[in-house]
Amino acid sequence: MPSPDHQPARALVWADRDDAAPPLFGLPPAERLARTLKKAGLGDTPIQTSTSSDATVSERLTETLATATGPVIALEEGAATDPRLIPALTRTEGTLVARTEEGAALRLMPGTTLPPATTLPELADALAAAGTRQLSQNDFDGFIGVLRRDLPFWILRPRDAAAARQAERWMFLSNYKGSTDILTSHVFPPLVWPLTRWSARYGLSPNAVTIVSILFTVLAAVFFWQGQLAAGLAAAYAMAVLDSVDGKLARVTLADSALGNVLDHGLDIVHPPFWWLAWAHGAALLGGPGWLWPAAWIMIGFYIADRLVLMVAKQRFGRGLHAMTALDGRVRSFISRRNINLLILTVGLMIGLETLAFALVVGWQAATCLWHTLRTAMLYPLGRAAA
């Protein structure tokens, strides 16, 4: 272990300030930069902001490099920078250029001679032209486990309110999972998009949205248990929409937390069995057959088994089963999960066949569990190489 006198020099973040840059999802540029660094694990890293006067970016950065004792991470304060990009800059060696169509980020070493440039993107291009090493998308691990998708690193630099709106829309859509059910991907977005923007604009926290969704979850179970199936479905769909909002809000505002993850993912896993038991009880109150209750317990058994199979697959492959192949991703859109089951129950209730609909839900959960077991067994010998 190195002695305290030989610890690696601490990185400094240099930000090219731009007071005219519009906020994104209610976050001023300086606040978004601070949250970006925190999410990247550099929350205590000093930030040196530099405002353009008569000096160019190259001249101002040269002054900083002359007194720096370690690497300088140069960013545009007015740009939204992918938090995944920061570790790629801090954990490398020497000078590095990261460039996208809209912006740039640099890792510079003390004493680096900078070519003349007015803006950070211009400086990045000049350094790249002079042979400075560049971070390519091919060398960047863009897989996001929680989203089950690959996403190239990005830097967005909106210049006005209209461009900011487009940037917000892109950030929102990029935070959708690569494989999800058809309701989440095709039906809910027109509701989730304005609710996410509204929540961000008025400073509503993701955890507050999650708490409201928990209330709807409980309300749905109560309605189902009492035989008020239509009211229960309405509450269930409200919960499903808010369950999409809180995750999007957390990611676009960089406000996700350990507590939020526990609340959100814990709720997703725990609540379905209670809904199916409550539905069986409520349907029985309305004159349904006696097999509804044991069918609900069979449903729960297959549900738990299915979750266990998916856990085994994720541990074996290093990613979720639905992110393994295009086939697995497509199947995720209609397998037995909460939203698909709600859709089946809704159609059944609308045509007066809620008992048959519940039987279909139980059968679909069993088929889903068997499919996941088969796919896991097929890919298991390959291990992480299958990914």
* Distance separating alpha carbons of residues 225 and 231, to the nearest angstrom: 11
Name the token pair of 254.
């960089």
Question: How would you class 28 by CB atoms within 10 Å of its CB: exposed for 0-12, middle for 13-18, buried for 19 or more?
Answer: middle
Calpha distance 339→335 (Å, rounded): 10
Using pLDDT thresholds of 50, 70 and 90, give the confidence band for residue 79. Answer: very high
- Contact assessment for residue 71 and residue 108, using Cβ atoms and an 8 Å cutoff: yes
Local structure of residue 132 (DSSP, 8 states)? -
Instruction: Look up the pTM and report it.
Output: 0.90
Is the pLDDT assigned to residue 5 strictly greater than 60?
no
pLDDT value at 3 more than 50:
no
DSSP state for residue 152 in the 8-state scheme? -
Per-residue pLDDT of 108-139, as tens digits, reads: 999 899 999 999 999 999 999 999 999 999 98
Q: What's the whole-number average pLDDT of the chain? A: 92
Which pLDDT does position 6 carry in this prediction?
37
With a pLDDT cut of 90, the percent of the chain lying above it is 82
Interval 239-293: pLDDT, tens: 999 999 999 999 999 998 777 777 777 788 899 999 999 999 999 999 999 999 9
Confidence of residue 308 (pLDDT cuts 50, 70, 90): very high
pLDDT of 387 higher than 90: no
Q: Mean pLDDT across the stretch 168-175?
A: 96
103: left (phi over 0), alpha (psi -120 to 50) or beta: beta
pLDDT surpasses 50 at 2 = no
What's the rounded mean pLDDT across residues 65-73? 92
pLDDT at 1 over 60: no
- For residue 89, the model assigns a pLDDT of 93
Mean pLDDT of the 207-217 span: 95
Average pLDDT over residues 23-46: 90
CA gap 306, 261 in Å, rounded: 21
Cβ-count burial 74-111 (b if 16+ within 10 Å, e if not): bbbbbbbbbbbbbebbbeeeebbbbbbebbbbbbbeee
How large is the average pLDDT for residues 58-65?
93
- pLDDT-based confidence at 343, cuts 50/70/90? very high
Rounded to whole angstroms, the Cα distance separating 220 from 236 reads: 5
Q: Show the CA angle centred on residue 181, arms to residues 177 and 186, nearest 5°.
A: 85
**Residue 237, pLDDT above cutoff 50:** yes
pLDDT of residue 382: 87
What pLDDT score does 9 carry?
57
Q: Specify the residue for token string 């140069």.
A: 74
Report pLDDT digits (tens) over 19-33. 889 999 999 999 999
